């Protein structure tokens, strides 16, 4: 049976825990506080902008601005964006798990001959494409909620400014870190394939039947990549959840 390497248990978001389980990167948890780690990500211009947003008087709500009532429509739109992105991940043909109809039929159902090598570049490119879709869809939703917040009270307008500063300051760092995820998964891809190849070779040498059909490793990898993408989606949506929570109090 194909298994992922066992790593040290991590706390924190599901994305971190899943990557720690699937990869061979053994990095101890940081002893720094969140604020200390965050300060290392902020440049001096970002720090000044954040300090100004937090210490200055709350920005006045623009004259004539209409504070549109927060309603079920916004909740539904946020749920729709989440569901749409999740469905795109789960329903993508590259990540679809092949049915067990024999190795040749499985391969042909994926548009390739049975003995064709599987290229990880296809998975990497699709992962990056999914990341771009998440960034675009969530960014648009976040800006919309922030605009609604800015039209509320001065205190809520300040929160909207802080969120805008944080998004601007951290987006490049976030993009860089998340772009490294496909590279980490490539190692998992290769280990699963090599493990199955070795298992099949050992079974052939001993005259025993293989315990899993050829190609089972690829289905395992597809499920794992889906899990990582869904966990990343949750992480990317955290700022949106924060804005939603603030709007519900208005």
Domain boundaries, the chain: 38-179+212-248
Mean pLDDT in residue range 7-25: 78
pLDDT score recorded for residue 82: 96
Identify which has the larger pLDDT, 120 or 23: 120
pTM attached to this predicted model: 0.82
Least confident of 24-33, 92-101, 129-138, 240-249: 24-33
CA–CA dist 48, 247 (Å, integer): 26
Q: Residue 54 has which token pair?
A: 């937090």
Q: Residue 105 above 80 pLDDT?
A: no
Residue burial 205-234, b: 16+ Cβ < 10 Å; e: rest:
eeeeeeebebbbbbbbbbebbbbbbbbbbe
pLDDT score recorded for residue 142: 96
Residue among 70, 33, 31 nearest 151 (CA)? 70
SS3 state at 211: coil
Query: Using 50, 70 and 90 to split pLDDT, how confident is the model at 115?
Result: very low
pLDDT score recorded for residue 111: 47
């Amino acid at each position: 049976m194909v298994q992922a390497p066992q790593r040290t248990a991590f706390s924190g978001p599901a994305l971190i825990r899943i990557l720690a389980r699937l990869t061979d990167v053994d990095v101890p948890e940081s002893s720094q506080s969140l604020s200390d780690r965050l300060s290392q990500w902020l440049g001096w211009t970002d720090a000044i902008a954040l300090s100004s947003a937090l210490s200055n008087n709350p920005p006045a709500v623009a004259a004539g601005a209409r504070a549109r009532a927060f309603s079920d429509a916004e909740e539904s739109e946020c749920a729709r964006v989440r569901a749409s992105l999740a469905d795109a991940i789960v329903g993508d043909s590259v990540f679809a798990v092949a049915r067990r109809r024999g190795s040749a039929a499985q391969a042909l159902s994926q548009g390739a001959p049975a003995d064709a090598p599987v290229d990880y570049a296809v998975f990497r490119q699709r992962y990056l494409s999914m990341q771009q879709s998440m960034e675009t869809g969530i960014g648009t939703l976040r800006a919309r909620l922030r605009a609604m917040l800015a039209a509320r009270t001065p205190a809520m307008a300040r929160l909207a400014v802080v969120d805008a500063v944080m998004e601007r300051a951290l987006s490049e760092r976030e993009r860089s870190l998340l772009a490294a995820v496909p590279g980490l998964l490539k190692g998992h891809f290769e280990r699963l394939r090599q493990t199955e190849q070795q298992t099949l070779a050992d079974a052939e040498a001993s005259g025993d039947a293989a315990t899993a059909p050829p190609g089972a490793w690829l289905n395992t990898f597809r499920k794992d990549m889906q899990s990582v993408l869904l966990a990343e989606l949750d992480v990317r949506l955290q700022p949106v959840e924060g804005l939603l929570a603030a709007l519900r109090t208005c």
